[in-house]
Structure 1
Amino acid sequence: MDNRETIGDAWRAGAARLREAGVDEAEGNAELLLLHLLECDKARLLMDMREPFPPERREAWERLLARKAAGEPVQYMTGGQHFYGRLFDVSPAVLIPRPETELLAEAVLAAADERLDGRERPLRVLDVGTGSGALAVTLAAERPRWRVTASDLSPEALAVARANAARHGAAIAFAQGDLLEPFLAPGAVQAFDVIVSNPPYIPSADMPGLQREVRDYEPHLALDGGPDGLAPYRRMAAQLGRLPAMPTIVAWEVGIHQAEVAAQLLREAAAWREIRFVRDYAGIDRHVLAIR
């Protein structure tokens, strides 16, 4: 790099390098990496675009660009992702929270307020397969009176979720285990008003064709949902009847073309007053809510 290079020059050259490497949204990714490298916000970055690029950070900048050009998600490189207005720690042990999952949190909050007086009552809520803890922490932070439990099969994911709960001052109980198994053991007495889950839902055969940032870097444990992507839903639906009491609300995030099948699994598991779908930003039925 030229010593006279400005921050703006570095951003444009970095974006060009990422674009040549086949990175989507190259300009945006280069900007996020610069914000991380220079430890500033976007307003500061825009103000400093004509300032000299700090020479002491050139080597680090080259390393960041090389990692991104190889496909590594920016969120793992910076260590964070925003969700529902809060910054969450993320690592390769957890799925990166997606914007569409914010719609699931929003739908659960609205349904619980409507059907269970969720703003007034200390509801018992379980987030199954919590990953980074984004859903559990969001629900606990938005409704501080709720008693939220979060579970995950991965101890590494639970460590990230615990750190995020501490970061946001959310009082959450954690359990390690597969889907609802931790709550089905002999002598288990805990019942839940609300169960929410964003489990793996990618069909196994589709895994090799995923975007490389997802396929090569995000945990397959959080992605692969079995032959048709619905294995976790079948198991959870079968487990519901073994809980001490049937929850009033079950809310699932699902993959494309899976909503109706997931709804039928819930119909076969229990009698519900209503089953509704929530569409994501692309118009796909992305969330299924069953309400008793």
Structure 2
Amino acid sequence: MNAEALPETVNKRELSLEILKNHNVSAAEIEELLRLAGPDDARLYRLTIRKRFGEPNAYLRGHTRFFGREFRLDRRCYIPDDYTRELAERVIRDAPPGGRILEVGTGCGWLSISLKCERPDLKVAACDIDPNALCLARENAMRHGADMTFHESFFVDDVAIAEPEFVVASLPYGGDADYSARELEEREQMPPIAICDSEGVVAPLVGLVASIQNRQWRSRIYLETGYLDKWRLDPAISSCSRCEHVRNGDFGYIVIEP
């Protein structure tokens, strides 16, 4: 039977569950789809077909949470990772009163908006190369009443702001981790520019540091580095005067002085 064209007598809920199990969708993901659909079997079937084509639950859900706030999420942006919270908490602790912060590669805006909401005294700006992502970030900022500015820019090259004390970024990196089949399938659903750079594992990090140095900024840089060991970060930090690498299990970040 063609799963996309069904006679009215077919039980869509039963068929949806069968399709999800046949495609090795985890029990936790199935449970979330059931919650999203509620009693609406037609919606469950639509979600199931989207899932069969590899769409991540985060896009099906349409939102994510960070620091207790809900942020709209869709295919205009990369699906952010929860472990970025440790980096955000460090920035919140370190930022001076009234300090200026720029987030690069903001995506849905959840990091920079959270910084502004947690520290209203900060002057926060965010940039991204993708205007579609910036539209989404602006929507989320408006939703949370975050008074901040957004800029379309290649790294920091085109940002028309005064030199910030801190530059913060969670950029695409890697591409050579031990990804599961599901992760590889879902990555194809995200914006290509938000995944991995074809020029190399740490190319975006190298590019950001170079962009900051070209502006002759002395901003302290906070970069999420995930699973990357410090030796792999050498191309990005070799020209910097100081580097602190913090690693907590599979999560890591660096703080560098250009």
Q: Which residue of 2 aligns with 1:33?
A: 33
> 1:227-242, aligned counterparts within 5 Å?
227-242=199-214
Stretches of 4+ aligned residues off by more than 4 angstroms: 12-16, 204-210
Contact 1:259 / 1:287 at 8 angstroms: preserved in 2? no
Contact 1:275 / 1:288 at 8 angstroms: preserved in 2? yes
Q: Which residue of 2 aligns with 1:43?
A: none
Amino acid in structure 1 at the alignment position of 2:230? A
Q: Which residue of 2 aligns with 1:76?
A: 59
Deviation by residue 1:99-153 (Cα, 9 ceiling, x = unmatched): 11122212222233xxxxx3xx111000000001011111111100101110000
% same residue: 28
Aligned pair count reads: 249
- The CA RMSD over aligned residues, in Å, is 2.9
Shift of 1:30: 2.1
Contact 1:82 / 1:88 at 8 angstroms: preserved in 2? yes
Q: Structure 2 length as normaliser, TM-score?
A: 0.85
Measured in 2, the distance between the counterparts of 1:206 and 1:172 equals 37
Deviation by residue 1:202-224 (Cα, 9 ceiling, x = unmatched): 34899997724432211121111
**Judging changes above 3 Å, is the alpha-carbon distance between structure 1 residues 143 and 275 closer, same or farther for their aligned structure 2 residues?**
same
Shift of 1:258: 4.5
> 1:181-220, aligned counterparts within 5 Å?
181-183=157-159, 190-203=162-175, 211-220=183-192
Contact 2:104 / 2:156 at 8 angstroms: preserved in 1? yes
Identify which range, 257-266 or 75-84, moves more after superposition: 257-266
> Given the alignment of the two structures, is residue 22 of structure 1 paired with residue 24 of structure 2, yes or no?
yes
Partner of 2:172: helix, strand, or coil? coil
Unaligned stretches of 5+ residues in structure 2: 1-8
Unaligned stretches of 5+ residues in structure 1: 39-53, 113-117
Q: Which residue of 2 aligns with 1:275?
A: 244
Measured in 2, the distance between the counterparts of 1:210 and 1:68 equals 11
Q: Which residue of 2 aligns with 1:177?
A: 153
Shift of 1:240: 2.2
> 1:1-292, aligned counterparts within 5 Å?
17-23=19-25, 26-38=26-38, 54=39, 57-112=40-95, 118=96, 121-183=97-159, 190-203=162-175, 211-247=183-219, 249-262=220-233, 265-269=236-240, 271-272=241-242, 275-279=244-248, 283-290=249-256
Amino acid in structure 2 at the alignment position of 1:18? L
Contact 1:205 / 1:227 at 8 angstroms: preserved in 2? no
Partner of 2:158: helix, strand, or coil? helix
